[in-house]
Structure 1
Amino acid sequence: MAVLLVANRGEVAVRVLRAAADLGIRTVAVYAEDDASSLHVTLADRAVALRGPSPYLDVDQILDAAAGCVAVHPGWGFLSENAAFARACEARGLAFVGPSADVLELLGDKRRARTLAASLGIPVLDAQPGEFPVMVKAVLGGGGKGMRAVYAPEDLDSAVEACQAEALAAFGAGDVYLERLMPSARHIEVQLVGTSVIGDRDCSLQLRHQKVVEIAPAPLLEPGTRKALHTAAAEIAAAAGYTGVGTVEFLVSGDSFAFLEVNPRLQVEHTVTEMVSGVDLVRTQLLLAWGGDVDYTPLDRGSAVQVRVNQTSGGVLSSFALPSGPGVRVDTHGYVGYRVGTHYDGLLAKLVVHGEDLDVALNRARRALREFRIDGVSTNLDFLKSLLSQEIVGATTDFVVEEPVDGMRAPLAGTVVAVSPDSVVLEAMKMQHVVRVSDDVLVSVGDTVSEGQLLASGTGESTEDSFEVDLEEIRPDLAEVLARHEFDRPEAAAKRHAAGGRTARENIADLCSDFVEYGGLAIAAQRARRSLDELIERTPADGMVAGIGVVNGQRIVAMSYDYAVLAGTQGLRNHQKKDRLFALAQQENLPVVLFAEGGGGRPGDTDHSMVSGLDCGSFHAFAQLSGQVPLIGVVAGRCFAGNAVLLGTCDVIIAVEGANIGMGGPAMIEGGGLGVFRPEDIGPLDVQIPNGVVDIAVSSEAEAVAVARKYLSYFQDSTTDWSCEDQRLLRHAVPENRLRAYDIRKVIDTLADTDSVLELRKGFGKAIVTALVRVEGRPIALIANDPNVLGGAIDADAADKCARFLQLADAFDIPVVSLTDTPGFMVGPEAERTATVRHLTRMVVTGANLTVPFGLIILRKAYGLGAQAMAAGSLKVPQFAISWPTGEFGPMGLEGAVKLGFKRVLDAIEDPQERRQRYDQMVEAAYEHGKALNVASVFEIDDVIDPADTRRWITTALAPTTSRQRQGKKRPFIDTW
């Protein structure tokens, strides 16, 4: 099936994704790390995170995300007019939904487009040397960005510099040019598909060169002028060899007009033309890109008005109710709970209304604006309501500036306490609020005003220069805060570095692409025994750096004890911060990464009334997160007592070489009368790895952070940039000699995506390998018997290890694949001393209650209850049960079955050589009977396959699991053992 990459965000991405879905086209979205909650991410069939400061302009990342796609839709803005991007798409065999790169170079460059128009005899606005006013405009892009009006020569240099910077940030190119300013003109656009005119629209109502209201068709336009505009637009398109959807823009004054530019792409205002023409322009784009037949003959369907609802602040949408009714359409990417940022264009929604005539359309627009209910962010809705209450039909581009929008009104009820020519000060609830005005103040000191009451006839726009703020100035109150935040302890950091370690902040900075700290100004609760300055210097953040960060494009809670602060001990504020972050993790389903180095409870805090401290809720709160969100513990150095309890609660423990982990440190052990020990003698890794406490051992903190990031990825998204080894290698992975061992880890590495294997508890329960892997980018929990350990027999430790791993997979909806080669459970007197009856059946009970998809692949031996345990209880339980040609099955091992079942027959043969020969014959017969092909012939398993097809079975027969973003818990908790 054809796949389309949408190289944009927000409302336009939503619009394109929906149009593609209507056509049955699968889609891939891209998103910046700070844009992961945008609606377009969830509407696509697949979404790929982009990294870096300007990800939507990163051609290489976007094209890498397009792997497997056949086309790219650029939307508007960003790379939509970038010829180099279009050419790069073509180089990778991707269709660019838009004109060719050559046409983009011609028309996307506004200077060349002007030259083309002039060559056709179409009027243009040439700027003459020394002539003012002029307009500084970006060569590429649109949307009012990179544009300034300049009325005096002394303002030209600063305007050029500002436009260049804005254009570079928005479009990736900072070139600008000058154009003669045409005052009191109307901004009229002609919509094209190829060289065919679909209609026109009036886009004159603009605020700071940003369009806010559009009307289609353009009203009050002389028929001759309208025809001339249509003809000029079609001539330009024909001369350029234009294909696809585009717009030609003009300025119109009376019956004269001048060419402005061509937008060789979709525009924000395309929707208003769709409403009157009946032509779905995005659908038309996609059909043209796919080479389909398209009927884009426009209709004549009354009038339409589009109003742009913009956010004017960031925040979270706590309510988002949209208008509806006949002739009302709202295009948006907003939803309740959406965190609206300020890094991108402020367009939040487009209100598009239609009526049989313009009066009906305008009345509907006014009614619809009143129906909007948006809370959590500031918007321009009041401005739009006021604007549409005026006579706007036939307005020029100067209208919003020349006709102030209904004066300046009181933002709240209060009393006027001061009045000046440029401001009114209101007092309410003992707070003073300054309202900027320009002139004609209508109130006096002492007046009581209500919310919305008119304070002045001017809007304050004309006095903007009077209130310029030095953006470089740091006020004293801010300077005090910044000084505290920037407080550093170079001696402590140097000591840490000298020991080969990293600071708490260095680890978190390495882990997270972005991070906001909670409680960074907290200090130890010891004011009764230390001065404030000493506490600030010696106990920054109370020894706990904690906050919300972004890892692999998704939010997490990250926290690290700071061993350089009171040995990383747990203090009062330290616990309060943990409680705060644990609550946020629970509320918002955020994984937790805990750097746990530290000495446990701190006895030196004084600023409290506690006696025992046993009412501390941190341990309970953290334990409650088990099974709801992934919990990752990282430890370097010493980790004792309370720190070790939190570490042991984690799903996975990543330990750095040289770490020591213990439920009690030297002081606690000595205090309990148990002897005197050095810290390095308590719980070293040569103890904690083979006993199963540590899941993954690494050589450095940097490696620990990398492993933590990799571990998290399995609980986040599938990946697209995967590769794998030649799967034909699997045909030779298991020797033909059924008694010869082989390397199961080599099998796993070959089967899984390259570099995707992360093995857990490698040094414990060695008879079973447990690893997180990926197959075609999808996370998989893999269990496998190791024939080099106990011949693959499952002992108590291996069963415990496997059972816990299965709980982990089930809790977070990760499918399980079992690579089975086992003679069964470990038996015998020595085995029973390890309580195998309970430990082995723990694996059986866990497997039988899994809810995730389960796939069984028999590599060689599948004998007895051990094989059934590896199959989640039965060959008929998994979604598929298949075998490689080397598979052999039976209720117990073949050799043992022959010895027990035919003991009398064999004992009756006196000649040892003859007895051995007879025994071998019986074993061979048993092998033929239990051979995979024979087992498949009675349909006890689903198939015997070519090992090279194993990945295909996994990706096809294992259904995708539910979203990783489930709310609440699926299992009560994940066993810590």
Structure 2
Amino acid sequence: MRKWQEELDELAQRRALAEQMGGPDKVARQHRDGKLTVRERVQALTDPGSFHEVGALAGKAQYDDSGRLTEFMPANCVFGRGLIQGRPVVVVGDDFTVRGGSADATIRDKPIMAERMAAELRLPIIRVIEGSGGGGSVKTIETTGRANLPGGVGGTYQYFHTTDNLARVPVVGLGLGSVAGLGAARLTASHYSIMTKKSAMFVAGPPVVARLGQSLTKEQLGGWEIQTRAGAVDDAVDDEPAAFARAAQFLSYLPSSVHELPPISECSDDPARPVPHLLDMIPKDTKGLYKMRPIVEALVDAGSFFEMGRHFGRGLITGMARLSGIPVGIMASDPFFAAGSWGADECQKIIRFLDFAATFHLPMVYMMDCPGFSVGLQAERTATIRWGVRAMAAMNQSPLPFCTIIVRNAFGVAAVVQQPAGRYSMRYAWPSARWGSLPLEGGIEAAYRAEIDASPDPAAKLAEIEERLQRLRSPFRTAETFLVEDIIDPVHTRRLLNEYARLARRTLETGAVKFGMRP
């Protein structure tokens, strides 16, 4: 018998008890609900055999009169280090089988250490969230004999690191069940959040909301359609394996921390590949619709476009892609939604995405077709102009290289936000581009009202004036006075974007940006 065999046997016993989590009944309930346990999630998320758990022996134990361990309930936070596609990451997850993932069944130092580990080892962190993860349930008042003051004295490190890591390392949040309270805050305090379509997220759940007179199911209160359209969560997928795959794909574009540059991938897609028929996709009718996503996908490296936040601020498409294997940030107008105009939601989306791209040193590409800010009563009620000016400030404060392709519209104050002001950036226009202080449609009747009213045929006079102004508005006339740098045949756009990506890469610097990322 080995000299320390008794201690090794106890270690094995304690590890086995920890791996039982909340017990067979609770594990079976998790599986009946179509969900994995936290340990199964960690194993599915990380490369096989790569996960090293920290603090597995932490929990609540009971002993007999002789001091031998009789029962052990592990803390419901599981964390450690592992590899995803060969790159080291930190993973921290809630164990819903123990007190429903509530913080009164964990040890507060475990999630704090996970966040510190990510920050100080400069590693991405993935938060696997199911539960409240806050100060405990209402029962906690009785079990502790006191009420919890949120934040404690001088604040808590958990609340600090939850948001501070956004300026340091990539943070992914996975909502894989009912997520409430601090759990919801941890999910949204991420660069990229995903929930499964059977999950729900809310500040407080249906029982609390029912006391306000609103009787709602979990899905009605915080289902995936509500949260992705509100912009609280970035993406929704059918099941947990899809969430794990999306998380891994997201991280593949990013450095492990702000102290590195994004990794360059091998690229077999010809950077000078001509892209024919792009101009044919833009309708001659200025009110005609077209699909922007196929244009983006045709220009970037094949299969590399990764969209984020598709259901929020739908007049603007955001995501990441690769050009010559170099990761870049993508913004693109979507004329299918309010003609691609910027409302309050689109402006919020721009601000957050520009901060994200700046944090991780992603050169920006903007495919522009923006007729201006949204107008009307709803636009005024949502303070569109304030959000628009904030978006303008975010653009001007961005330290990133920018390349803008004006595909069609560039009108009004929103059109000013084509690229950062006050420094050099690249800009190209397609022959389909048109611009001005405001679109001619609607503006002619106001500006030429007296002339139109005096005409014996007002409709013919309006058409005559519009035709005259349309000729004057030609992008080639703007190019004559060098008020636009370059008008290009769209077939060459991919080649020019790849040149831009290679040049932009030379200018990137590592380190934290001046304006740290906020949720």
TM-score in same-fold range (> 0.5): yes
Residue of structure 1 equivalent to 2:260: none
How far does the alpha carbon of each residue in 1:276-316 deviate from its partner, in whole angstroms, 9 at most, with x for none? xxxxxxxxxxxxxxxxxxxxxxxxxxxxxxxxxxxxxxxxx
Residue 681 of structure 1, CA deviation: 4.0
CA contact (8 A) 1:871 1:877 kept: no
Instruction: Please tell me whether residue 658 in structure 1 is matched to residue 201 in structure 2.
Output: no
Residue of structure 2 equivalent to 1:952: 495
**Of 119, 126, 129, the match for 1:586:** 119
Instruction: Provide the C-alpha distance between the structure 2 equivalents of 1:673 and 1:534, rounded to a whole number of angstroms.
Output: 45
Q: Quickly say closer, same or farther: Cα 1:584–1:910, change in 2 above 3 A.
A: same
The total of aligned residue pairs comes to 494
**Of 346, 351, 355, the match for 1:807:** 355
Counterpart of 2:89 in 1: which secondary structure?
strand
Residue 637 of structure 1, CA deviation: 1.4
**Of 430, 433, 452, the match for 1:906:** 452
Instruction: Please tell me whether residue 710 in structure 1 is matched to residue 256 in structure 2.
Output: no
Residue of structure 2 equivalent to 1:482: 12
CA contact (8 A) 1:523 1:535 kept: no
Instruction: Provide the C-alpha distance between the structure 2 equivalents of 1:923 and 1:715, rounded to a whole number of angstroms.
Output: 47
Residue 607 of structure 1, CA deviation: 9.8
Higher relative contact order (CA 8 A, sep 6+): 2
CA contact (8 A) 2:274 2:494 kept: no
Residue 580 of structure 1, CA deviation: 1.0
Instruction: Provide the C-alpha distance between the structure 2 equivalents of 1:493 and 1:600, rounded to a whole number of angstroms.
Output: 19
Residue of structure 1 equivalent to 2:410: 862
**Of 449, 461, 465, the match for 1:915:** 461
How far does the alpha carbon of each residue in 1:373-394 deviate from its partner, in whole angstroms, 9 at most, with x for none? xxxxxxxxxxxxxxxxxxxxxx
Letter matched to residue 620 of structure 1: F
**Of 817, 823, 829, the match for 2:365:** 817
Counterpart of 2:471 in 1: which secondary structure?
helix
Residue 848 of structure 1, CA deviation: 0.7
CA contact (8 A) 1:871 1:878 kept: no
Q: Quickly say closer, same or farther: Cα 1:675–1:888, change in 2 above 3 A.
A: closer
Residue of structure 2 equivalent to 1:786: 334
Q: Quickly say closer, same or farther: Cα 1:547–1:729, change in 2 above 3 A.
A: farther
Instruction: Please tell me whether residue 629 in structure 1 is matched to residue 169 in structure 2.
Output: yes
Instruction: Provide the C-alpha distance between the structure 2 equivalents of 1:524 and 1:781, rounded to a whole number of angstroms.
Output: 47
Instruction: Provide the C-alpha distance between the structure 2 equivalents of 1:901 and 1:496, rounded to a whole number of angstroms.
Output: 66
Residue of structure 2 equivalent to 1:883: 429
Residue 964 of structure 1, CA deviation: 9.2
**Of 743, 758, 763, the match for 2:291:** 743
TM-score, length-normalised on structure 1? 0.47
Q: Quickly say closer, same or farther: Cα 1:880–1:682, change in 2 above 3 A.
A: same
How far does the alpha carbon of each residue in 1:553-582 deviate from its partner, in whole angstroms, 9 at most, with x for none? 322211111112211111364421111111
Instruction: Please tell me whether residue 974 in structure 1 is matched to residue 517 in structure 2.
Output: yes
Counterpart of 1:723 in 2: which secondary structure?
coil
Residue 649 of structure 1, CA deviation: 1.4
Instruction: Provide the C-alpha distance between the structure 2 equivalents of 1:609 and 1:475, rounded to a whole number of angstroms.
Output: 42
Counterpart of 1:623 in 2: which secondary structure?
helix
Residue of structure 1 equivalent to 2:95: 562
Counterpart of 2:438 in 1: which secondary structure?
coil
Instruction: Please tell me whether residue 686 in structure 1 is matched to residue 225 in structure 2.
Output: yes
Residue 905 of structure 1, CA deviation: 2.3
Residue 474 of structure 1, CA deviation: 9.2
Counterpart of 2:464 in 1: which secondary structure?
helix
Residue of structure 1 equivalent to 2:45: 511
CA contact (8 A) 1:504 1:562 kept: yes
Residue of structure 2 equivalent to 1:395: none
How far does the alpha carbon of each residue in 1:748-773 deviate from its partner, in whole angstroms, 9 at most, with x for none? 12122222222222111111111112
CA contact (8 A) 1:661 1:683 kept: yes
CA contact (8 A) 1:559 1:595 kept: yes
Identical amino acids, percent of aligned pairs: 26
Residue 723 of structure 1, CA deviation: 3.4
How far does the alpha carbon of each residue in 1:240-277 deviate from its partner, in whole angstroms, 9 at most, with x for none? xxxxxxxxxxxxxxxxxxxxxxxxxxxxxxxxxxxxxx
CA contact (8 A) 1:543 1:561 kept: yes
1:114-263 aligned within 5 A: none
How far does the alpha carbon of each residue in 1:329-373 deviate from its partner, in whole angstroms, 9 at most, with x for none? xxxxxxxxxxxxxxxxxxxxxxxxxxxxxxxxxxxxxxxxxxxxx
Counterpart of 1:500 in 2: which secondary structure?
coil
Instruction: Provide the C-alpha distance between the structure 2 equivalents of 1:965 and 1:635, rounded to a whole number of angstroms.
Output: 33
Q: Quickly say closer, same or farther: Cα 1:923–1:965, change in 2 above 3 A.
A: closer
Counterpart of 2:516 in 1: which secondary structure?
coil
CA contact (8 A) 1:791 1:823 kept: yes
**Of 58, 63, 72, the match for 1:522:** 58
Counterpart of 1:889 in 2: which secondary structure?
strand
Residue 726 of structure 1, CA deviation: 6.1
Letter matched to residue 43 of structure 2: A
How far does the alpha carbon of each residue in 1:125-160 deviate from its partner, in whole angstroms, 9 at most, with x for none? xxxxxxxxxxxxxxxxxxxxxxxxxxxxxxxxxxxx
Instruction: Please tell me whether residue 618 in structure 1 is matched to residue 158 in structure 2.
Output: yes
Instruction: Please tell me whether residue 700 in structure 1 is matched to residue 239 in structure 2.
Output: yes
Residue of structure 1 equivalent to 2:258: none
1:65-76 aligned within 5 A: none
User: What are the ranges of 5 or more consecutive residues in structure 2 without an aligned counterpart?
Assistant: 256-262
Letter matched to residue 500 of structure 2: A
Instruction: Provide the C-alpha distance between the structure 2 equivalents of 1:622 and 1:749, rounded to a whole number of angstroms.
Output: 34
CA contact (8 A) 1:651 1:808 kept: yes
Instruction: Provide the C-alpha distance between the structure 2 equivalents of 1:589 and 1:952, rounded to a whole number of angstroms.
Output: 35
CA contact (8 A) 1:795 1:831 kept: yes
Letter matched to residue 295 of structure 2: V
Residue 635 of structure 1, CA deviation: 0.5
Q: Quickly say closer, same or farther: Cα 1:682–1:698, change in 2 above 3 A.
A: same
Instruction: Provide the C-alpha distance between the structure 1 equivalents of 2:237 and 2:269, rounded to a whole number of angstroms.
Output: 25
Residue 491 of structure 1, CA deviation: 4.6
Max Rg structure: 1
Aligned residues: CA RMSD: 3.0
Letter matched to residue 453 of structure 2: D
Letter matched to residue 291 of structure 2: D
Instruction: Provide the C-alpha distance between the structure 2 equivalents of 1:504 and 1:851, rounded to a whole number of angstroms.
Output: 39
Q: Quickly say closer, same or farther: Cα 1:596–1:851, change in 2 above 3 A.
A: same
Letter matched to residue 55 of structure 2: G
**Of 547, 553, 558, the match for 2:86:** 553
**Of 892, 898, 916, the match for 2:438:** 892
Instruction: Provide the C-alpha distance between the structure 2 equivalents of 1:729 and 1:719, rounded to a whole number of angstroms.
Output: 28
CA contact (8 A) 1:525 1:572 kept: no
Instruction: Provide the C-alpha distance between the structure 2 equivalents of 1:830 and 1:568, rounded to a whole number of angstroms.
Output: 40
Q: Compare the two structures and name the one with the higher helix fraction.
A: 2
Residue 824 of structure 1, CA deviation: 0.9
How far does the alpha carbon of each residue in 1:466-511 deviate from its partner, in whole angstroms, 9 at most, with x for none? xxx99xx993322322333244435544432332221212222222
Instruction: Provide the C-alpha distance between the structure 1 equivalents of 2:491 and 2:143, rounded to a whole number of angstroms.
Output: 66
TM-score, length-normalised on structure 2? 0.87
Instruction: Provide the C-alpha distance between the structure 2 equivalents of 1:948 and 1:827, rounded to a whole number of angstroms.
Output: 34
CA contact (8 A) 2:274 2:495 kept: no
Residue 532 of structure 1, CA deviation: 9.0
Instruction: Provide the C-alpha distance between the structure 2 equivalents of 1:532 and 1:613, rounded to a whole number of angstroms.
Output: 36
Residue 685 of structure 1, CA deviation: 1.7
Instruction: Provide the C-alpha distance between the structure 2 equivalents of 1:726 and 1:668, rounded to a whole number of angstroms.
Output: 58
Letter matched to residue 113 of structure 2: R
Letter matched to residue 579 of structure 1: I
Instruction: Provide the C-alpha distance between the structure 2 equivalents of 1:818 and 1:849, rounded to a whole number of angstroms.
Output: 16
CA contact (8 A) 1:559 1:593 kept: yes
Instruction: Provide the C-alpha distance between the structure 1 equivalents of 2:35 and 2:508, rounded to a whole number of angstroms.
Output: 34
Instruction: Provide the C-alpha distance between the structure 1 equivalents of 2:370 and 2:6, rounded to a whole number of angstroms.
Output: 72
1:921-940 aligned within 5 A: 921-928=467-474, 931=475, 933-940=476-483
